[in-house]
Structure 1
Amino acid sequence: MERGNKVSRWLRRRPGAAGADTPAGSAERDRLLLAAVAAAFRVAPAARPSGYGCSCDRVGCPTPGMHPVSFAWQTEASADPERVTRWLRADPRSNFISATGTGHDVLDVPAEAGRLALARLDARGTATGPVARYGEDRTLFFTASRGTPDDEDEWWPCELDCHPETLEEHPGLRWHCRGSYVLLPPSRLPDGTAVDWLRPPLLPLPDPLTLLDVLTDACARVAVPEADGAV
């Protein structure tokens, strides 16, 4: 259902409707991206929507504007503002991804679950850290990372781990850790919506476990009506 909604919005949109190509829009875009870099998020250039397709060379790209430009994005990702500025100047319209699993992880939930969780966390007085809205479909909670321990036996295996190629298998909670990435604000999505900040990137990153119970409960509450309506 989620993928179908994205495709239908994509087909209805007007090419170029995102409107971030004006000088003012470009300056704001640069400011937002460099704010994330100042927060030590490692970023790398990503493709961008182009008409009804993708700026990459792949015919029939399945994720237009939503993937890194380079296959070496994990090693190229950088928090060096000078390097990022060069990327911005090379393609002022490109999206950017942030590599997860080192400086930060991301807990990625359906938008309605994100709204419920934010209200509950605020009522508790729990610091949420940076939070982004991923178009109309998802909410991204940026957290501290579990890291990459030298001893693999110390790695906490988790069925919630989510990699870019398995997104469709995780309609509820997705945990982006090492080997994964998320589009970073202010990226533009194929359906004409955007990735933007609800809470700024310079906020301290919380331990993911302080958010996990609230996010899983919110996802369960959102999923119940969907299950009741299933045929």
Structure 2
Amino acid sequence: MQRYENEVLLDAAVRYAEERHWEVFPGAWLEVAAGEQKCSCRVPACAMPGAHALGADWRTVATESATAVRRMWEEHPTAAVLLPTGQAFDVLDVPESAGFLALARMERMQVPVGPVTQVPTGRMQFFVLAGGAAKVPGLLRKLGWSPSGLDLAALGEGDYVVAPPTRIGGRGVVQWARRPTTANRWLPDVAELVAAVAYACGREAAV
């Protein structure tokens, strides 16, 4: 089973690099000690066990070379699959309930949606064109929303996301709510999604 999971992680990391031309880098991993899963970082209260960068220099490790990706995962076959934001894409990070509400609204309005992940920390992440994160505060204000009043994070240059099928401790596996396909190879501009996402986050805040 472990060997199969390792192969799945490697295959996913290589596909992101080869098929999407996304930069990839390995993160922490889970280790079993005394029958319990613990993060390789050895921090007792690790917030993202087995699913975070190993150090501040992670940006220098990220690559879209499939050969380099294979080499890195041969060294650490159970490492988390991490994707930098700010280069090939940016991300809108929202509560899971707001994410599903936003997806339903976009489908009704026939708004094109890119890949979307469902993270077992209770979040959803919408992939948009790189450079979108910087536009979000201004777009929200134009729509009448206060950026600080919504549980909406825009991840761009200097940030990263945890990619499927990485496991986050005992919480579960990061999954695709909308899988990358040839149909969504061209990512939407953040301006196309922000109204639906902000509305959904605003609804959640009002509950």
Which residue identity lines up with residue 39 of structure 1 in the other structure? Answer: R
Q: Which moved more, 1:74-83 or 1:47-56?
A: 47-56
Q: How far off its partner does 1:70 sit?
A: 3.1
The answer to whether structure 1 residue 121 and structure 2 residue 103 are counterparts is no
Q: Sequence identity, in percent?
A: 30
Q: Distance in 1 between matches of 2:9 and 2:70?
A: 11
> What secondary structure does 2:172 align onto?
coil
> What secondary structure does 2:168 align onto?
coil
Q: How far off its partner does 1:110 sit?
A: 0.5
TM-score, normalised with respect to structure 1: 0.74
Which residue identity lines up with residue 26 of structure 1 in the other structure? Answer: N
Q: Deviations over 1:48-69 (max 9, x none)?
A: 2333431024454444223212
Q: 1:198 to 1:80 in 2, by over 3 A?
A: same
> What secondary structure does 2:16 align onto?
helix
**Structure 1 counterpart of 2:171:** 192
Task: Tell whether the 8 Å contact from 1:36 to 1:201 is kept in structure 2 after alignment.
Answer: no
The answer to whether structure 1 residue 65 and structure 2 residue 45 are counterparts is no
Which residue identity lines up with residue 123 of structure 1 in the other structure? Answer: R
**Structure 2 counterpart of 1:84:** 69
Which residue identity lines up with residue 120 of structure 2 in the other structure? Answer: G
**Structure 2 counterpart of 1:4:** none
Q: 1:195 to 1:89 in 2, by over 3 A?
A: same
The answer to whether structure 1 residue 40 and structure 2 residue 25 are counterparts is no
The answer to whether structure 1 residue 25 and structure 2 residue 25 are counterparts is no
Task: Tell whether the 8 Å contact from 2:39 to 2:46 is kept in structure 1 after alignment.
Answer: yes
Q: Distance in 2 between matches of 1:184 and 1:194?
A: 9
Q: Distance in 2 between matches of 1:171 and 1:158?
A: 11
Task: Tell whether the 8 Å contact from 1:132 to 1:199 is kept in structure 2 after alignment.
Answer: yes
Q: Deviations over 1:75-123 (max 9, x none)?
A: 2211111111111111111102111111110111110111111111111
Task: Tell whether the 8 Å contact from 2:84 to 2:160 is kept in structure 1 after alignment.
Answer: yes
Q: Which moved more, 1:212-221 or 1:26-35?
A: 26-35
TM-score, normalised with respect to structure 2: 0.81
Q: Which moved more, 1:210-219 or 1:26-35?
A: 26-35
Q: Which moved more, 1:70-79 or 1:45-54?
A: 45-54
Q: Distance in 2 between matches of 1:71 and 1:213?
A: 34
**Structure 1 counterpart of 2:116:** 131
RMSD value, Cα: 2.6
Q: How far off its partner does 1:209 sit?
A: 1.2
Number of equivalences:
191
Q: Distance in 2 between matches of 1:100 and 1:184?
A: 11
Q: How far off its partner does 1:24 sit?
A: 3.0
Which residue identity lines up with residue 113 of structure 1 in the other structure? Answer: A
Unaligned runs of 5+ in 2: 140-147
Q: Distance in 2 between matches of 1:102 and 1:147?
A: 11
Q: 1:209 to 1:27 in 2, by over 3 A?
A: same
